[in-house]
Structure 1
Amino acid sequence: MSRNLAEWLAYQERVNVHSIELGLERVRSVWQAMGSPAPAPRVITVAGTNGKGSTVALLEAMLRAADLRVGAFTSPHLLDYNERIRIDRSHVDDSSLIASFERIEAARGELPLTYFEFGTLAALDLFARAGVDVAVLEVGLGGRLDAVNIIDADVAIVTTVDLDHMEWLGADRDSIGREKAGIARAGRPVIVGELAPPQGLLDVLAARGAQVERAGIDFGVERHVDGWRWWHRDRGAMELPDPALAAPVQYANAATAIAALHALWGNLLTPSNFFAAVSTGLHEARIDARLQWLGGEPAVIVDVGHNPQAARALAEWLDAQPAARVHAVYGALADKDVAGVIAALGTRIHHWHLAGLDQLTPRGLTAAALAATLQQVLPWAPFDTHADVAEALAAARDLARPGERILAFGSFFLASAVLAERGG
């Protein structure tokens, strides 16, 4: 029976009773049954708590600027599933995805793959068939047992490590770091983008024999009034333009992406075009819902910051903006540290519009649950509760005055609803 894309995705959600089932045995077996297609001659794998999507987008833009064919796999998507798999910065079409899902289905036999595993295998299959030069693969959850880890990356990246998905990855940064270190391979570069990574991450990387390059030690950022300087321990340095992506944290993401390319550049880029590719990539890299300015008056900015580390990055960005009252439209999932997010932003938010996500996903918190946590953390903070994102956004627009800002942030479900409201 032929299925359209929506039917295939609904089917994948039924194949495995577990929406998340970490482990490589099943997905590796299916990949081998498909002929173990290598996604590309060079592979970069990107793990981390925050910054993965931005780092993938930066790598993608820089590599494309060097005239290389690039496949990028990311998750989750915001509006369309096709966003997850890109070839030369274009989303794959429905027919290509369906054909790949059919090949996966024929190969899997009785093995129950998860929704994410289907998508991972489709990305590997489609990149191999397209003949891309470089595949950039974002890890979905953790690293060691994530489906992406069936591929031996030429360069691995760990952007940041913080407390998130603790029910799967561990209760502290050391434990989570050990899981993320699982993407490293002996004798191959691994780029650590955080200035103060947990010791658990560093211990496992050393035990695995990876060639570790650390931000602040082996490479780094020096910002100045006219741009910024990227430097490397080999005495290489480049004066660069500011990233098009907003937020101070994007300098760290850009530096990490450049370090990964630097580790591979002898095989990919020549000295004469390395600087040009990096500069062009910084200018052209785009990714939705990362401090994305939607315009309007008052202006709406949407971001997928959904954990305390991401909220601290939002706070740093707000502190760097001209003074203006900020109205938050916020929604979260039940497994997130809502109290930590609220505390990180604190009094920077002048009014909270709390949006229930329970109608969008079984994991979504109600507005009442968000309000209970807000009143514990910031008892004085003004807020309203709303049944859904559309209602919360409309209320924020009604209350905010010209010159003020509306920051819509939290879950990908909230960001998706905001982008859908404006037509993508």
Structure 2
Amino acid sequence: MRGIEWLESLANFEDDRSVAISPVDLVRQAATVLVGTNSGMRFIHVAGTNGKGSVAATAAVLLGDMGFRVGLFRSPHLCRIEERVMIDATPISTERLDQELVQLATLTDQQLVPRLTHFEALFVATLSVFALEGCELAVIETGMGGRDDATNIIDADVAVITSVGHDHLVELGPTLADVLDHKLGIVHDGAAVCLGPLDSVLRAQAADRLALNPTIWIDDLEFERFPGVGGQEIVEHSALGERSFFVPLFGQTSAWNALLAIYAVEAILGRRLSSERIETGLARLHLPGCFEVLRGRPIVVVDTAHNREAAQALGATLIETFGPGHSIGLVMGMSHGRDPSDFLLALGIASVDSIGLLDCGVPVKDLMDAAVAHYPDIKVMDWSVELRPVGELLSSLDTEIVLVTGSHCACGAVLCKDTPTLLLGTP
């Protein structure tokens, strides 16, 4: 796999925050050479501190269910890189991805395109795959920020800003206003915009920036949620009439994300979707690592929350879904110097009985110190040195519920290894 080997040799900002990203114009130059300028695709572009992967995947599933050939670009991945490049809800083959990367590597070696970073090269190759495979529509998730992100070479019909939080303040800040400014950078002239919840100060900033763009504010929507088995019913009230549909997702944040995806799809199609169309489309939605419940003994909940706001939403969803009074075990690994104490405080779980710690960049000792500070009587296990199957490790926590969280690395350690040992019962 020469193309993928070449890709993995490139500087990778996701692994090393000191890596310099390329100017957007250089990424556009490479895409113009490899892809051309007239693919005919139309785009939904999704940015946000949290929730952008869920919104992007939900929008792609809805569009695909209506018969469109839809590309989806996501980042990062849980198990294998092909998950980032999907057509009609299916990852492209390793061979197809490698083929396109070989073309880009050859152009780079010939100095016909600039040398890009790992993320930038993957995105350029993805656009070429989507064009050559006949995608009519593509949903693109930003890597980080928006304005200076490689994905901002597209001119999207619809832009979605899911949330603005404290993650990446070092790179995008120092203030939340700066973070929002970066994310609003994906909004081009004439694009429709869908915005997630914002406080009053950030909303005023966004309103000023979007004065000439048709904008939907989720804070202005009227809807009710009715949590149930396997998800929740959403009842939306608007001047256009009431809609009611079931979504296989848990928690208030997931409801917001589903609505943002629905409105983005309606904006790019120029028509309102019926309750039946939404419910049928979302029936096949599966979001790995997004409050994903693996039922058995113990019940395992996998969620890629990795920052303060995501941890708050995760803790609230856990209580809403299962109620209080259960024994809880935690599997945790964090990356990029994030603060485990801040994460556990935001998670807001009153009692955790045991914890398995993984080295995903933040040292296990730092995780251990934070866990013991929050839960003095907790049973602590260093899983970074354990060689037992994942299923055995989960059972060793000896709790009714096990929550796996803190990073894509931690969630991937459970979802991508020994997965059959986790499915001890039926969902």
TM-score (norm 1): 0.87
**2:421 is the alignment partner of 1:405:** no
Counterpart CA distance in 2 for 1:365 and 1:292 is 24
For 1:158 and 1:97, the matched residues in 2 are separated by: 28
| 1:256 is the counterpart of 2:237 | no
Aligned partner of 1:382 in structure 2 is 378
- Residues 1:279 and 1:39: Cα distance change in structure 2 (over 3 Å): farther
2:292 corresponds to = 292
Aligned counterpart for 2:346 among listed residues 322, 330, 344: 344
Deviation per residue, 1:117-136 (Å, 9 max, x gap): 01111111111111112100
Amino acid in structure 2 at the alignment position of 1:417: A
SS in 2 for 1:156: strand
Distance 2:255 2:356 in 1: 31
Is it true that 1:366 corresponds to 2:366 in the alignment?
A: no
Conserved in 1, the CA contact under 8 Å of 2:56 and 2:141?
yes
2:332 is matched with which residue?
330
Structure 1 pair 253/225, CA: closer, same or farther in 2 (3 Å)?
A: closer
Structure-2 separation of matches of 1:389 and 1:277: 49
Cα pair distance change 1:263/1:22, threshold 3 Å: same
Matches within 5 A, 1:171-250: 171-194=174-197, 196-197=198-199, 199-200=201-202, 202-203=204-205, 206-207=208-209, 209-217=212-220, 219-224=221-226, 227-232=233-238, 235-250=239-254
Q: Give the 3-state SS of the residue equivalent to 2:246 in structure 1.
A: coil
Matched residue, 1:43: 43
Q: What secondary structure is seen at the aligned counterpart in 1 of 2:185?
A: helix
1:279: which partner in 2?
Answer: 279
Q: 8 Å contact 2:44–2:268 — kept in the other structure?
A: no
1:59 paired residue number: 59
Q: Which consecutive unaligned segments of at least 5 residues does structure 2 have?
A: 421-427
How much has 1:317 moved relative to structure 2? 1.1
Q: 1:325 to 1:92 in 2, by over 3 A?
A: same
Cα distance change of structure 1 residues 134 and 14 upon mapping to structure 2, 3 Å threshold:
closer
Unaligned 5+ segments in structure 1 are: 359-363
In the TM superposition, residue 287 of structure 1 has moved relative to its aligned partner by 1.3
Q: Deviations over 1:257-284 (max 9, x none)?
A: 1111222232xx5x5x644331212222
CA displacement at 1:22 relative to structure 2 = 5.3
In structure 2, C-alpha distance between the alignment counterparts of 1:300 and 1:225, rounded to whole Å? 19
CA distance in 1: counterparts of 2:194 and 2:395, whole angstroms:
42
Conservation of the 8 A alpha-carbon contact between 2:331 and 2:358? no
The 1:256–1:75 alpha-carbon spacing in structure 2 relative to 1, beyond 3 Å, is same
Are 2:139 and 1:136 equivalent residues in the alignment? yes
**Contact 1:243-1:282 within 8 A present in 2 as well:** yes
Whole-Å Cα distance in 2 between the matches of residues 332 and 198 of structure 1? Answer: 31
**Alpha-carbon distance in 2 for matches of 1:26, 1:205:** 31
The verdict on how the C-alpha distance between 1:237 and 1:58 changes in structure 2, with shifts beyond 3 A counting, is: farther
Give CA deviations for 1:192-242 in whole Å, capped at 9, x if unaligned.
Answer: 021x2474575256335332221122x34222478222244xx22442222
> In the alignment, which residue of structure 2 is the partner of 1:361?
none
CA distance in 1, matches of 2:35, 2:404: 44
- Equivalent residue number for residue 302 of structure 2: 302
Do the aligned partners of 1:59 and 1:257 also contact (CA within 8 Å) in 2? yes
Matched, 1:119 2:117: no
CA distance in 1, matches of 2:370, 2:258: 35
Q: TM-score, normalised by structure 2?
A: 0.87
Q: How many residues matched?
A: 406
Residue 98 of structure 1 corresponds to 98
Q: Which structure 2 residues correspond to residues 3-82 of structure 1 after superposition, within 5 A? A: 3-4=1-2, 6-13=4-11, 19=19, 21=21, 23-38=23-38, 40-82=40-82
TM-fit CA distance, 1:5: 5.2
Greater mean alpha carbon deviation, residues 113-122 or residues 387-396: 387-396
Q: Distance in 2 between matches of 1:149 and 1:225?
A: 36
Identity %: 28
Other structure's SS at 2:86 match: strand
State the SS of the aligned residue for 2:140.
Answer: strand
Report the alpha carbon displacement of residue 39 of structure 1 after superposing the two structures with TM: 5.4
Worse-matched range after superposition: 127-136 or 155-164 = 127-136
Give the AA of the match of 2:280.
T
Secondary structure of the corresponding residue to residue 210 of structure 1: coil
Give how far 1:302 is off: 1.1
User: C-alpha separation between the residues in 2 aligned to 1:334 and 1:178?
Assistant: 23
Q: C-alpha separation between the residues in 2 aligned to 1:390 and 1:281?
A: 42
Q: Secondary structure at the match of 2:283?
A: helix
Matched, 1:150 2:156: no
- The reply on whether 1:418 has 2:422 as its aligned counterpart is no
CA gap 1:390/1:78 in 2 versus in 1, 3 angstroms: farther
- In the alignment, the residues of structure 2 paired with residue 276 and residue 390 of structure 1 have an alpha-carbon distance, to the nearest angstrom, of 48
Task: Provide the rounded CA distance (Å) in 1 between the counterparts of 2:419 and 2:90.
Answer: 19
Q: Name which of structure 1's ranges 166-175 and 409-418 shifts more when overlaid on structure 2.
A: 166-175
Partner Cα separation in structure 2 for residue 101 and residue 6 of structure 1: 7
Cα shift at 1:71: 0.4
